[in-house]
Structure 1
Amino acid sequence: MLSLKNIYYHPSTAEKPILRDLCLKFKTGKITIVRGPSGSGKTTLVEIISGLSGYQKGEITWLNKTLNARQRRWLCGLVFQFPERYFLGLSVAQELRLGHKRLTTEELISTLTKVGLINLDLKKPPESLSGGQQRRLAIAVQLLRSPKVLLLDEPTAGLDWSVRKGIIELIAKLKDKQTILIVTHEPELFKNLNTDNYKLHNGQLIPQ
């Protein structure tokens, strides 16, 4: 499983460390929830785990093997809080096929089915989709990479209740296939899932 040990991160532009001696072990079959207010370091945490950012001290391991940033990028799929800012394709189909030269129609249909987008018009531009559809599309893009770890940054933020419910149900279906970490300021939305809960405070994780 994925494990973080004594992670320390202090950017030169910050007065104090964002993460300090942070430790976390993910458990099989459980979704890990990390809550905290804006500015507490939640997004920094998922960017470090995913290999998009580095850290000064500590160790990140998968199955007891230490991972470098490149290895973490292969291991993890990261869905940002505002996924529409990161879409590159001119259409939904193009977005899904980016980096997948040999993607089959069967694989595409299977992934869209998993995220509840099977009836979506693939010719539409991603930015024309609703907020909920954009989140589902972003998750589909990551699932096509077959990540072992799925990192979700505020997956329900800015969505109305009916759409939130659908995203939560989708996450519940995925937890048996991927190790999932959700960082959120709305942990109560996930209370019916099998979760381990932490609060990010002063750069450390406090069990809740």
Structure 2
Amino acid sequence: MLYLKNVSYHPPATATPILRSITLEFAPQQLGLIIGPSGSGKSTLLEILAGLAECTAGEIYWRDQELTSLHLQQLGGLVFQFPERHFCGNSILEELRLGHPGLRMDQITEALTEVGLEQLPLATAPQSLSGGQQRRLALAVQLIRQPHLLLLDEPTAGLDWSMRRQLVTLLAKLKQHWSLLVVTHETGDLLEIADRCWTLNHGQLLEADPQQLAADRQPLLIP
């Protein structure tokens, strides 16, 4: 169980806080969806949960253990909005092995199978993959690390309808074994697989009913 207690983020360079007293409880093997417009603090919240930034107030727990940024880096795996911009390997195999020199082939096969890329040659260049395949590879890179929590920033951004549907189906499968926290500026097809939903506006988080959001489509949240 992930707990956030009154988490705020107010860097000195900003006149107002980016995040304001965020409180959240999130159970394992669920998909949580945080919906908010651009600039609402969604990506900042993920960066804090991934240990890439430190909150300026509040506490974060996994079960009964309070987490530092180092703990959070080990707990979570962050998939950026456009993960292809962060690929460094010249091949799928090289990308998966970055930072894992002792990685076994069975671990590589397992991760690629989990995201539906097991049929691709390992020598394939990540930049030659389709947009949907690149998102899947980015997920495989994080699954190799065996995180407790997968953090996804706008996972369907820039994908066509077919690729979005495939990715939503994949995320529904992944939540059977992993906890997923997804941030997005639009509800789209993700609502149908969400177990918990929140809206984030001006740094303030409120829980919402997924079924009600699906009915309303919350047009005010889309910039």
Match of 1:198 in 2: 198
TM-score by length of 1: 0.96
Q: For 1:125 and 1:15, how far apart are their aligned partners in 2?
A: 44
4+ runs deviating over 4 angstroms? none
Deviation per residue, 1:7-53 (Å, 9 max, x gap)? 11012222210001111110233211000011111000000011001
| Count of paired positions | 208
Between the aligned residues of both structures, percent identity stands at 50
**Paired amino acid for 2:97:** R
Deviation per residue, 1:137-157 (Å, 9 max, x gap)? 000000000000000000001
User: SS at 1:58's partner residue?
Assistant: strand
CA contact (8 A) 1:34 1:200 kept: yes
Match of 1:118 in 2: 118
Match of 2:58 in 1: 58
Structure 1, 101-110 or 30-39: larger mean CA deviation: 101-110
Q: For 2:86 and 2:28, how far apart are their aligned partners in 1?
A: 30
Match of 1:169 in 2: 169
Where in structure 2 are there 5+ consecutive unaligned residues?
A: 209-223
Match of 1:160 in 2: 160
**Paired amino acid for 2:69:** A
Deviation per residue, 1:71-99 (Å, 9 max, x gap)? 10000000000101111111111001112
Where in structure 1 are there 5+ consecutive unaligned residues?
A: none
Match of 2:213 in 1: none
User: SS at 1:44's partner residue?
Assistant: helix
Taking the TM superposition and a 5 Å limit, the aligned residue runs for 1:89-168 are 89-168=89-168
Q: For 1:151 and 1:18, how far apart are their aligned partners in 2?
A: 19
CA contact (8 A) 1:23 1:204 kept: no
Structure 1, 128-137 or 97-106: larger mean CA deviation: 97-106
How much does 1:2 deviate?
0.8
Q: For 2:30 and 2:71, how far apart are their aligned partners in 1?
A: 23
Deviation per residue, 1:162-201 (Å, 9 max, x gap)? 1111111111111121111000112231122142111001
**Paired amino acid for 1:184:** T
Q: For 2:28 and 2:144, how far apart are their aligned partners in 1?
A: 21
Structure 1, 147-156 or 196-205: larger mean CA deviation: 196-205
Q: For 2:62 and 2:87, how far apart are their aligned partners in 1?
A: 29
**Paired amino acid for 1:43:** S
